[in-house]
Structure 1
């Protein structure tokens, strides 16, 4: 049997694996592409510290309140992602500063950062790896 025939047979019998692969690749790509398209920048924990200390950066934590109580970056403002629209007015005074959006792992923060950019915030970052990366770098956490 020619190898192309074997490959086609494998594909036919395992089509669901290829669909799963396509979905996974799509999900991995959509976040970074969305960030770029909306002008959201990325900061690691060390860069976030510099933004906070040198430029008066403001940290917006989009975690749920119970997650926020379990630990957050010092002086972070809690604005849960589903209610972020309701908090926009309170952030207006910070529009001229870098805004660093974070959550527990860095997944929800992309949606929050895109929303802030859509509402005219010029300098918005997401914290790569979220609070977990912050803690891994032994940076302070409020509880």
Structure 2
């Protein structure tokens, strides 16, 4: 026990960083609403096919044109807040938000939740995970 106290004293910055990162990780896993609403590619297909869900792709137009989920709506994240009202007609349906890897879509998911959308999901792993699952992509 004496060695632990000595280690903490000698490496205070390291210990503080470890505690802060551990706390952030625990919060992210248990309390972040976006992570609670994350779905994988197969779960999102079920939401689209069985619950009349809609896929919203927040990548740039150029990224979207290189390949996207069939019937996805493209609203790039850089103008998402201003164009979000286009999705109002889907407030009563599941909305799955996608980007390349899942980080940009997490921001858009939070915006939709704040705007009153009840059934919003972030596509875990983004379009990369969708393609890895062998699901179809439409290219323009």
* TM-score, with structure 2 as normaliser: 0.81
Query: Over residues 74-133 of structure 1, what are the superposed CA-to-partner deviations in whole Å (9 max), with x where a residue is unaligned?
Result: 222222333211111211122221100122222232221121122121211111222222
Where does the alignment leave 5 or more consecutive residues of structure 1 unmatched? none
The corresponding residue for 1:35 is 33
- For structure 2, which runs of at least 5 residues remain unmatched after alignment? none
Q: In 2, Cα distance between the equivalents of 1:69 and 1:21?
A: 42
Match of 1:8 in 2: 5
Given candidates 110, 118, 126, the residue that maps to 2:114 is 118
Question: Is 1:94 aligned to 2:105, yes or no?
Answer: no
Aligned to 2:63: 67
**Structure 1 pair 94/100, CA: closer, same or farther in 2 (3 Å)?**
same
State the alpha-carbon separation in 1 of the partners of residues 27 and 67 from structure 2.
28
